[in-house]
């Protein structure tokens, strides 16, 4: 048992394919699941980071792990189509057990019930090494000032998510179009800790990395939206891709997650960002590249097959690499 935002894999099977383990998991998107009511109000969309949580939970169940596994690395993730309320998502996951015996490289393809691909992910899941340290790409954030740069009212005006999925409490520093520093306080009363039995170790109370990455993404969205020059009208900012994200350590209830994020490039409704996640002075996460896209709200709620080109990130990734 460990803290988690929701049951992200309703059913898991482990089989052998050509002598190698292969996972199959299924998740039905439901507005009744914890956190889903706030993402987005009036339009149920499964947060892409919950696919990472699904891989974590499927690994724990399939291999009967006694210790809580974690997402150690997201080597690549491409989000190809929105996952809406009522969709059934199937994970097909060849598994490559790593030589250390405590981690598994997962090469997941996720499809909707009608066969439409929604995501591809290459993720390393395993038992974390508490001594592992990350080399931060930037300095840690300065201590929070007495007053936030953006208060909660302004954050709500900019972000379309709501409780319990609003995962940024304050903006501590902001240079529109360039850089942002934010804070998310972690409380033991959050939904991810609901229902945990007594007697668990502190590792079971580590704040889920999927939620930490969602908080990072919301902070990136605030950086995009905080400038009038870059503001987008009616629409939704959505995660399109992640490359080379890695994690170490974690945050316990009573602590805080802090993000430092740079906007690397903004072009034609697509933003390229990078940054780090902090617990105090310790870097607990590094994201080399996060790609976000702007989609009209009506388009997100429409059938994805009607405009599949709008959900492919192949072209925008290629354009970024050429810059």
pLDDT, tens only, 168-218: 999 999 999 999 999 999 999 999 999 999 999 999 999 999 999 999 999
Which ranges constitute the DSSP H helices of the chain?
49-62, 152-158, 209-225, 297-301, 314-322
Which of 95-99, 247-251, 269-273, 306-310 shows the lowest mean pLDDT across its residues? 306-310
- Of the CA atoms within 13 Å of residue 16, those in its CB half-sphere come to 3
Q: With contact defined as beta carbons under 8 Å apart, do 80 and 117 qualify?
A: yes
**Which pLDDT score is estimated for 226?**
84
Domains and their CATH numbers in the chain: 11-322 (3.10.129.110)
pLDDT band at 267 (very low <50, low <70, confident <90, very high): confident
Helix (H, G, I), strand (E, B) or coil at 49: helix
Please report, rounded to a whole number, the percentage of residues in the chain having pLDDT higher than 90: 77
Place of tokens 């189509």: 81
State pTM to two decimals: 0.91
**Cα–Cα distances in Å, from 259 out to 116, 136, 262, 312?**
34, 12, 10, 27
Sign of the C-alpha dihedral computed for residues 202, 252, 179 and 281 taken in this order: negative
What's the CA gap between 114 and 217, in Å, rounded?
29
Per-residue pLDDT of 25-83, as tens digits, reads 999 999 999 999 999 888 899 999 999 999 999 999 999 998 889 999 999 999 999 99
Q: Which token pair is 228?
A: 């009038």
Confidence of residue 120 (pLDDT cuts 50, 70, 90): very high
Q: Sorting pLDDT into bands at 50, 70 and 90, what band is 304?
A: very low
Cα 16 to Cα 64, 93, 274, distances in angstroms: 16, 11, 37
Answer whether the bond into residue 40 is a cis peptide, omega within 30°: yes
Look at residue 67 in the predicted model and tell me its pLDDT.
87
Place of tokens 């989000």: 79
For residue 45, what is the DSSP state? B
CA 56, 140, 241, 158 torsion: positive or negative?
positive
> Which one, of 298, 194, 208, 193, lies nearest residue 251 by Cα?
208
Higher pLDDT, 318 or 61: 61
- Residue 241 dihedral angles phi and psi, to the nearest 5°: -165, 155
Measured from the Cβ of residue 289, the count of other Cβ atoms closer than 10 Å reads 18
Burial 300-318 (b: 16+ CB within 10 A, else e): bbeebeeeeeebebeebbe
Mean of per-residue pLDDT scores for the chain: 89
């Amino acid at each position: 048992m460990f803290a988690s935002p929701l049951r992200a894999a309703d059913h898991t099977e482990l089989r052998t394919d050509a002598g190698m383990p292969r996972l199959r998991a299924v998740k039905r998107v439901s507005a009744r699941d914890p956190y889903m009511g706030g993402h987005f109000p009036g339009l149920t969309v499964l947060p892409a980071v919950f696919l990472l949580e699904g891989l974590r939970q499927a690994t724990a169940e399939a291999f009967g792990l006694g210790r809580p596994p974690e997402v150690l690395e997201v080597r690549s993730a491409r989000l190809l189509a929105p996952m809406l309320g009522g969709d059934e998502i199937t994970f097909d996951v060849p598994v490559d057990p790593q030589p250390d015996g405590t981690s598994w490289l997962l090469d997941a393809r996720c499809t909707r019930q009608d066969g439409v691909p929604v995501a591809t992910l290459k993720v390393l899941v395993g038992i974390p090494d508490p001594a592992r340290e990350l080399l931060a790409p930037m300095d840690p954030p300065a201590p929070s000032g007495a007053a936030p740069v953006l208060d909660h009212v302004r954050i709500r005006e900019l972000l379309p998510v709501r409780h319990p999925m609003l995962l940024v409490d304050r903006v501590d520093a902001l240079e529109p179009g360039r850089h942002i520093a934010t804070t998310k306080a972690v409380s033991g009363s959050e939904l991810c800790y609901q229902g945990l039995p007594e007697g668990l170790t502190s590792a079971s109370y580590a704040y889920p990395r999927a939620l930490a990455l969602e908080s990072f993404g919301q902070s990136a969205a605030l950086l995009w939206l905080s400038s009038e020059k870059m503001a987008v009208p009616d629409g939704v900012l959505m995660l399109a891709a992640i490359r080379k994200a890695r994690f170490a350590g974690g945050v316990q209830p009573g602590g805080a997650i802090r993000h430092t994020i740079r906007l690397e490039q903004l072009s034609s409704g697509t933003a390229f960002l990078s940054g780090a996640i902090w617990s105090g002075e310790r870097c607990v996460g590094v994201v080399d590249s996060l790609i976000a896209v702007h989609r009209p709200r009506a388009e997100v709620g429409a059938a994805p097959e009607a405009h599949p080109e709008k959900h492919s990130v192949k072209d925008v990734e290629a354009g970024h690499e050429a810059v």
